[in-house]
Amino acid sequence: MASARTTTSLAEASRRLVHGVWGMHRRLTVRLERGLPEACGLDLDDFVLLETLALTDLAPGEVAMALRLPPHAVSRGLGRLEGAGLVVRRIAPGDARRRVVVLTDAGRAALARAHAHLEAALGGWLTELPPDRTLLALDAITRLATGRDDAPEPEPATAER
């Protein structure tokens, strides 16, 4: 049985996690939504969808699983991206029964503009911590977000601050 201190500590950690993630989400949303549509024509949801599609050729159902979203939400997003000429559906190489969604040249260009906006919008935020702590924080966020322990290991800390 867990001691009261452990239970309190886990309860406090849970509260800090929820409030920390909520605060980061709000801060991230505010920073990115300001200027992202003007920079590349995408809102934050469509950017994440386009970014996921850029990683590998996926079928719509696989996109929904990767993003942990309901299929209808992904379908609507794919419709918006397809209507904007940023993605197309194609027959999967090696399997004529399967359709995948791939970026068009316009989609790759929009994604490049979005990346430039991300760097400008988040660069200062990411430098609020020393580089070694930023890598540790990003590693922890990735591990918590994916539920997997195969996030890249951070580089060893350096003496420079």
- CATH of residue 136's domain is 1.10.10.10
> pTM for the complete prediction?
0.75
* Residue 30 domain flag: yes
pLDDT at 13: 87
With CA atoms as reference, report the closest residue to 110 among 52, 54, 42, 63: 42
Q: Is residue 56 part of a domain?
A: yes
Alpha-carbon gap, residue 28 to 44, rounded angstroms: 10
The pLDDT score that the predictor gives to residue 155 is 44
Could you tell me if residue 158 is inside a domain? Answer: no
* pLDDT above 50: residue 97: yes
Give the tens place of pLDDT for each residue, 9-59: 888 888 998 998 899 889 888 888 888 888 888 998 999 999 999 988 888
Q: How many domains does the chain fold into?
A: 1
Whether 7 is in a domain gets the answer: no
**Considering the domain boundaries, does residue 156 fall inside one?**
no
Separation of alpha carbons 3 and 92, rounded Å: 55
Query: Is residue 154 in some structural domain?
Result: no
| Structural domain boundaries enclosing 53 | 12-146
- The answer as to whether 1 is a domain residue is no
Q: Which residue has the tokens 């993605």?
A: 87
Looking at the domain assignment, is residue 112 inside a domain?
Answer: yes
Please state the rounded mean pLDDT for residues 103-114.
95
First to last CA, the chain: 42
Looking at residue 159, its pLDDT comes to 39
Most confident of 25-34, 86-95, 107-116: 107-116
